[in-house]
Chain A
Amino acid sequence: MASVQFRDIRKSFGAQDVIRGVTFDIRDGEFVILVGPSGCGKSTLLRMLAGLEDMTDGDILIGDRVVNDIAPKERDIAMVFQSYALYPHMTVEENMGFALKLEGRPKSAIAEKVRAAADILALGPLIDRLPKALSGGQRQRVAMGRAIVRDPQVFLFDEPLSNLDAKLRVQMRAEIKDLHQRLGTTMVYVTHDQVEAMTMADRIVVMRAGAVEQIGKPLELYDFPANTFVAAFIGSPSMNLLAGSVQDGAFVTASGARLPLPAGASARAVTYGIRPEHMVLSDTGIAAKVVVVEPTGADTHVLLRVGSDDVTLLARDRVDLAPGQTVHLAPDLRRLHLFGADERRIERA
């Protein structure tokens, strides 16, 4: 186990900066997830940590050791790839034992390690199979097994669940989290799926365009997003963000709709943020027209139009609404988010 430190990491391809000065620490034994839209640099950062990608500037430390110029195999890390990258001509056992074989360990020791890892991952009966005879989930487990047998200081995961179907993804999510709790090893995980990040991470690093937007515990990010980008990115369905300005104690949108504000709200606010689950239908309040009703069974997503803005409401109960109908919304003002012209969150006075 070891901590990881990124110090002012920069990477550019010619004139284009893909990583623009990233600095943060990962504590020993922590499960940190890098999340962000495609092209935000999260995978590049992970690959730099793995030693598979050169960096233009900065330092990466694993434990107390600067690893900038150290080859991947010397870094004492293991990585699980999105495509699993299993060796197709080797059995599960050979796949898992390959790294140990390269280290020159005796056969009996390799077999013992592989068995132990296979037991942890419930791969015991599949040990003699080739990857082509395994299902997607099993292949994913073998890829993790290959990492576990090496007993690394840090585990790296590069979107490991992207190729699995939705049901299996939920199952593997729990398995990876359980694995972390059992092994206690530092894990760095990259995903573009904020639900994965919210459910698994000790801390989340939200990235955009090569820079870190916010770092924090999942619920911190949900409750106190630092800017409009994080506000929109974290949470599903995503937060309603309406542009406008504060006038006479209310927030007036571009199309003239008046939204209530709590007492003492900053007059600097230009974006009004409210999560779909923090509004309820009421007899009075913001007038909105129903556009689409999407029942999911457990709850109902209602797409509404307030003036010219689209707003989503997440109703915990079943609602009887028809498109075209006019309803009234009451936002929970304690859970309102206001953002300034610089997109940053305005803290309450």
Chain B
Amino acid sequence: MSDMALSTPRPAPKRRSHGSKRTLRIVQVVCVLIIALVMISPLFMLLVASLKDDRFQILADMGSFKAFWVSDPTLNNFVEVGGMSGDLAFGRYLMNSLIILFVTVSSGLVINSMAGFVLAWGRVPGKVVILALVIALYVIPQESIIMPLLIMVSRAGMTDTFTAQILPWVASPLYIFLFYQFFAQLPKELYEAAEMDGASPFRIYRSIFMPLSLPAMATTSILMGIESWNQYLWPVLVTQTAYARPIAVAIGTFFGQDSIFWDRAMAASVLMMLPILAFYIVFQRWFVSSFIGTAVKG
């Protein structure tokens, strides 16, 4: 019987030829390039337009490949935006945005991570219901709660303040859930070991779980930071004067009733993008660094 088994010819394994493998690879690369091009082209167009001096030319170039080419680059638009003297200097709008970003993100990290920690590890009655509610809240779009929120802020006398632009967005179901997910997957023994060591729940959060949640903190910082930086509708509604207005709203002033200053709007947009780009570069390395896996088990 074993002889028979040995003599039975085996079907030759199917092998993809070297040529077809290469074709597949080329198709893959071309696809990736096309996708990348589609993603990058608006940004590139923005950068090119910001270097053109004539706002009518920018408009005229828009429909053709000229939109991606500048024959006579100039930084005039940036100089003009920098020296802008409307209700507030451009730098002040930038500062407003930075203040709102910094306070929203830093307080958001603490509040959302604490909420996530309690939901993951706290002895809270009705925890499952609270968690379900948090997830349910996430699907409600921001725009749909904006009117009631506006009434609340206005009744509280907070219109035209930084507080009104920060407070409503500090706690977020998305980030609470993100932290909850992160904390819940940490090993139970870690919590119990700290408990046996004599740590209170707050101490366990502060000394053990929070330092371990750097990847989640980085993700939240980036997402929250971008969200805060790009806020437009809410600041427009909640600010009546330029005092606390962020940069996104300031750019809107280039779009006047009679004319649109495309050149300055483009330069201002580039300037607005720079800090958030720097912010991303600072935090993105945390995305990949995670040393929790090595904590438990040999």
Contacts and interface: CB of A to CB of B under 8 A. Distances in A.
A345 to B, nearest CB: 39
B183 to A, nearest CB: 14
Given A83-B296, A89-B212, A163-B298, A102 B203 contact: yes
Nearest to A78: B196
A131 to B, nearest CB: 6
A88 B294 contact: yes
B198 A103 contact: yes
B66 to A, nearest CB: 54
A188 to B, nearest CB: 14
A102 B197 contact: yes
Interface string A84-116: 111111000000001100110000000000000
B182 to A, nearest CB: 14
Contacts of A89: 211-212, 291
A78 to B, nearest CB: 7
A50 interface: yes
A135 interface: yes
A159 B119 CA distance: 29
A140 B198 CA distance: 20
B193 A81 contact: yes
A11 interface: no
Contacts of A88: 212, 291-292, 294-295
Nearest to A50: B196
B294 A131 contact: yes
A251 B55 CA distance: 108
A81 B192 contact: yes
A170 interface: no
B195 interface: yes
A103 B198 CA distance: 8
A124 interface: no
A113 B199 CA distance: 19
A18 to B, nearest CB: 18
B18 interface: no
A52 interface: yes
Interface in A168-224: none
A77 B197 CA distance: 9
B187 interface: yes
A72 B195 contact: yes
B297 interface: yes
Contacts of B135: none
B190 interface: yes
Contacts of B298: 84, 135-137, 139-140, 163-164
Contacts of B194: 87, 98
B189 interface: yes
Contacts of A136: 298
Contact of B294 (A81, A132, A164): A132
Interface of B: 187, 189-190, 192-199, 203, 207-208, 211-212, 291-292, 294-298
Given A102-B197, A102-B199, A85 B189 contact: yes
Given A83-B296, A88-B291, 11 more contacts: A52-B192, A52-B196, A73-B195, A84-B296, A85-B189, A86-B295, A87-B193, A87-B208, A98-B207, A132-B295, A146-B197
B193 to A, nearest CB: 4
A79 B294 contact: no
A87 B198 contact: no
Contacts of A78: 196
Given A87-B190, A87-B208, A89-B212, A73 B196 contact: yes
Nearest to A164: B298
Given A131-B294, A132-B295, A164-B298, A85 B195 contact: no
10 contacts: A50-B196, A52-B195, A77-B196, A79-B192, A85-B296, A87-B193, A98-B199, A102-B198, A102-B203, A150-B197
Nearest to B192: A52
B294 A85 contact: no
Contact of B297 (A77, A79, A99, A163): A163
Nearest to B189: A85
A132 B291 contact: yes
Given A88-B212, A132-B295, A83 B187 contact: yes
A87 B295 contact: yes
B198 A85 contact: no
B212 to A, nearest CB: 6
A164 B298 CA distance: 7
B190 A73 contact: no
A81 B208 CA distance: 17
